[in-house]
Amino acid sequence: MKSFKLILILLFLVVLGCSKNETKENISETKSLQEIYFSLNVGNNYINDSSLGNWIIVHDENGNILDYSKYKNGDKLSFEAPKDSVSDNLRITILNSFYHTSEGQKNFFLETFPNVPKKSIWNFNSSIPNTNALLQNPIVGKFNINVNNIPEVKNHTLTGDNIILTTNTTISDSNQLVINNVDLHERNTYFLSILDGNNDLKYTFIKNVKDGDTLNLDYENFQNFDSYLNVNLPPNKYLSTPLSVIAYEKDLNQNSGVYTLNHRYDSSYWNVGLNYIKIGYLDIFEKYKVDFQLALEGYVYKYRKEGSKTENLIVPEKPNFTYEDSSIYDFSFSIDEDYIRKVNTWKYDSESSTIVWQIFSDSKANLNFNKLPIEITEAYPEMNIDSMKYKSTSIYTKSKSQLDFIEDLFISNDKNDEYELESVVIKK
């Protein structure tokens, strides 16, 4: 009898062991049949305190909702599905909402990116400005500058090392420039350029300045730049974003040896009878940031480049742009301009909320609105999607590809990358 009981116990243990092994095998087999088709890592300081909620929504390439999730600082999210059940490309939509305390509004910003490769890993990292250069170059006094023998002063730029100076500027007569109460910094080398009455742009470096100095300079000792770029301007228009030309001795991330060669040129170009932007370059600088924006009749022209100097630039005429339906559901357009990628924008404003939806896509994609999950629309009743109106289309004629643009935005952490952006914005 004891032997029989012992046999039963042994059989039970064998069956139990087999059952456990089968369970483990089933779990392992189930896991092997799943795949992570998208991942998101959120930085610890990415979301600020005014946030009302942040969501990421994943659609397949046909616009069907795959999954969605709310995210917060420090989150690491993985989206899984059965193997081979998800399309090779995804549509990712980001929803950021926050409360604007000064205006008493709730703000909702949505961005949709199609053709995101499956198994992509995105990173939302906060961008913290580098203030080390300013902290290491404190103000230690004041000084004054007088420049004489100028054949009329049309414009000027005065900067210190990595500092755009705010000065009390007066022109005492057409041949003299007086700049008083200039901030003196520990790194006491300054750059001054002047656009004169002959439309010549010349410069000088000012070194070894001391507190209380009044520097008397002769414009005849100013030098020509090593090379120039003239950008022709349409008549009677204006720079909606002032021209900025920042020069770097070696690389774009250095904190010293950085000077702004041109800054705050606005409609004074036309006021002084100049129908082109004049940019000067110096061979001692290897890298540049050039940035400006023109508000033209029926469109806006934008240009930005970080890297080597721009050798040639032509402001294009307004392209022929037509669309049939401005609805976010059925929007499409035609244009007689080749381009690399585009951004379509819809917006709705009310006293209580602002909603902006931007769809980023390449030149081939004709992507419109993706339905949001009911849970999200019910959570934010102020987010009136159906009331949004078409606002603009941005056409990028100089840019990285759509895939490289997404990689720079969400995947790569390389801050030394050079780029050139040229776009035309057509507004409704």
Tens digits of residue pLDDT in 41-78: 999 989 888 888 999 999 998 889 999 999 999 999 99
φ and ψ at 268, to 5 degrees?
-60, -20
141 plus 111 within the same structural domain: no
119 plus 175 within the same structural domain: no
Residue 80's identity, in one-letter code, is E
107 plus 48 within the same structural domain: yes
Residue at 110 is within a domain: yes
φ and ψ at 349, to 5 degrees?
-120, 135
- End position of a domain, from candidates 286, 306, 331: 286
- In which domain, by residue range, is 167 found? 132-286
User: What does the block give as tokens for 177?
Assistant: 């420039």
351 plus 386 within the same structural domain: yes
pLDDT of residue 312: 93
User: What does the block give as tokens for 317?
Assistant: 């005429």
Q: Bigger pLDDT: 268 or 208?
A: 208
Residue at 421 is within a domain: no
Strands, DSSP E only, in 43-126? 51-60, 65-70, 76-82, 89-100, 105-117, 120-124
Distance linking the first and last C-alpha atoms of the chain: 94
pLDDT of residue 321: 93
Cα–Cα dist 245/259, whole Å: 9
Distant-in-sequence, close-in-space partners of 70: CB < 8 Å, separation ≥ 6: 53, 54, 55
Residue at 86 is within a domain: yes
Q: What DSSP string runs through 1-44?
A: -HHHHHHHHHHHHHHHHHHHHHHHHHHHHHHHTEEEEEEEEE-T
143 plus 223 within the same structural domain: yes
Number of domains in the chain: 2
Residue at 248 is within a domain: yes
Q: List, for residues 81-104, the tens digit of each pLDDT value.
A: 999 899 999 999 999 998 776 667
Q: What DSSP string runs through 215-271?
A: EEEEGGG-EE-SEEEEEE--TT-EEEEEEEEEEESS-TT-SSSEEEEEEEE-THHHH
Cα–Cα dist 77/38, whole Å: 8
pLDDT of residue 232: 85
Residue at 426 is within a domain: no
**What is the pLDDT averaged over residues 234-262?**
76
* Residue burial 140-149, b: 16+ Cβ < 10 Å; e: rest: eeebbbebee
| Mean pLDDT for the chain overall | 83
47 plus 142 within the same structural domain: no
Cα–Cα dist 103/82, whole Å: 46
SS3 (DSSP) at 135: helix
147 plus 229 within the same structural domain: yes
The closest alpha carbon to 245, from 226, 258, 232, belongs to 258
Give Cα separations from 194 to 27, 136, 200, 209 (angstroms).
Answer: 74, 28, 8, 20
Q: List, for residues 312-339, the tens digit of each pLDDT value.
A: 999 998 999 998 778 887 888 899 999 9
pLDDT of residue 56: 97
Q: Bigger pLDDT: 229 or 128?
A: 229
- End position of a domain, from candidates 242, 266, 286: 286
**What is the pLDDT averaged over residues 233-251?**
75
Q: How confident is the model at residue 131 (pLDDT cuts 50, 70, 90)?
A: very low
With tokens 């204006």, the residue in question is 238
Cα–Cα dist 174/153, whole Å: 6
152 plus 272 within the same structural domain: yes
Residue at 11 is within a domain: no
pLDDT of residue 27: 47
Q: What DSSP string runs through 365-423?
A: ----PPPPPHHHHHH-TT--GGG-EEEEEEEEEE---HHHHHIIIII---TT--EEEEE
174 plus 238 within the same structural domain: yes
306 and 289 Cβ atoms separated by less than 8 Å: yes
Q: Evaluate if residue 167 carries a pLDDT over 50.
A: no
Largest Cα separation within the chain, whole Å, is: 123
Residue at 404 is within a domain: no
228 plus 269 within the same structural domain: yes
Cα–Cα dist 57/267, whole Å: 44
Distant-in-sequence, close-in-space partners of 287: CB < 8 Å, separation ≥ 6: 247, 248, 250, 251, 252, 306, 307, 308, 418
The closest alpha carbon to 412, from 423, 398, 400, 422, belongs to 400
112 plus 148 within the same structural domain: no
Residue at 406 is within a domain: no
174 plus 107 within the same structural domain: no
Cα–Cα dist 188/210, whole Å: 8
φ and ψ at 422, to 5 degrees?
-135, 125
pLDDT of residue 8: 47
